Amino acid sequence: MSIKISTFRWLGAMALAIFLFFWLGLPAVLQALGLHPVYDGPRYRLPGKRALIVTTSHGTLNKPGQTDGKATGVFASEMTAPYYAFLDAGMQVDVASIQGGVIPIEPDSLRWFLASSADKRYLKDAELQAKTRRSPALAQVDFSRYDVVFLAGGWGAAYDLGRSAELARGVSSAWAAAKVVGGVCHGPLGLLHATDTDGSALVRGKHLTAVTNRQIEELGIEFTPEHPERDLRAAGALFESASAWRDIFAQHVVADGRLVTGQNQNAGEATAQQMMRIAGGQPNP
């Protein structure tokens, strides 16, 4: 009997060890590979200024001709990381979406092994949760009133950010008002139809980054209607990117004047900090 009890205890201890490894170890392993790296660069203060974060309103990863599919939306950290970077810098931060109302959030991005520290902060933040439930539509937003305009990505953005006339007009007005504009991942698709002050395409001849063709292929989402690298290159952008053994673990940020872009979800805070620096932010001691 004592042998059986010892065996059961040993098996229970092994099961607990395996559980703890996956619960605590898997997020650490993914971060070590490059997912949601801890930002260790300079932080800036920009009190009294305003930031706008724009997200998708598309919540289904559907193939052409289909209306159903996997739930998707904004990748959480691409909204939460810049939001808290701006908020902690003393800025007023608003969140808007293409159509307004409830913002769809990619469910996988909030799973225990993928959620970033900013995502976990969001899950305890009633104020930001309320903003994502009652976001204004872009038609109600005056972009020129903001000092910084940040375009969040996620797979939902591949369906509507590059096709929104309201977003193109808003980004164009912010740019004409000498504001700082940018985004990460699929977010820069919202720059596609924005114009410079001379009427030319805003991205033409400008250095930027976004999700790579390789990452889209690795994740098996080639069927989405727009692809950042492909479509931004076609619009005349000077596209840059970094690579890793899987591009989801790569990170790259590009600043070209007042245009600041990040390659994917790993660059949310770094991109936001660069935007604040260019907007006149002072280093936070």
Read off the amino acid at residue 233: R
Q: How far apart are CA 226 and CA 220, in angstroms?
A: 14
Q: What are the CA-CA distances from residue 171 to residues 98, 123, 126, 257 (Å)?
A: 13, 29, 29, 15
pLDDT for residue 285: 79
Q: Say if 254 falls within a structural domain.
A: yes
Q: Say if 39 falls within a structural domain.
A: no
Q: What is the 3-state secondary structure of 104-140?
A: CECHHHHCCCCCCHHHHHHCCCHHHHHHHHCECEHHH
Q: What is the mean pLDDT of the chain?
A: 92
Residues 5 and 92 in one domain: no
Flag whether pLDDT at 24 surpasses 70.
Answer: no
pTM of the predicted protein model: 0.92
Instruction: Write the DSSP string, 150-211.
Output: EE--STTHHHHGGG-HHHHHHHHHHHHTT-EEEEETTGGGGGTT-B-TTSSBTTTT-EE---
Render pLDDT for 101-144 as a digit per residue (tens, 0 to 9): 999 999 999 998 889 999 999 999 999 999 999 999 999 999 99
* Intra-chain end-to-end CA distance of the chain, in Å: 64
Give percent of the chain with pLDDT exceeding 70. Answer: 91
- Domains held by the chain: number: 2
Q: H/E element holding 213?
A: helix 213-219
Q: What is the mean pLDDT of residues 10-36?
A: 65
Render pLDDT for 47-66 as a digit per residue (tens, 0 to 9): 999 999 999 999 999 999 89
Residues 111 and 147 in one domain: yes
Residues 83 and 18 in one domain: no
Q: How far apart are CA 92 and CA 73, in angstroms?
A: 24
Q: Which domain holds residue 274?
A: 45-283
Q: What is the mean pLDDT of residues 161-183?
A: 98
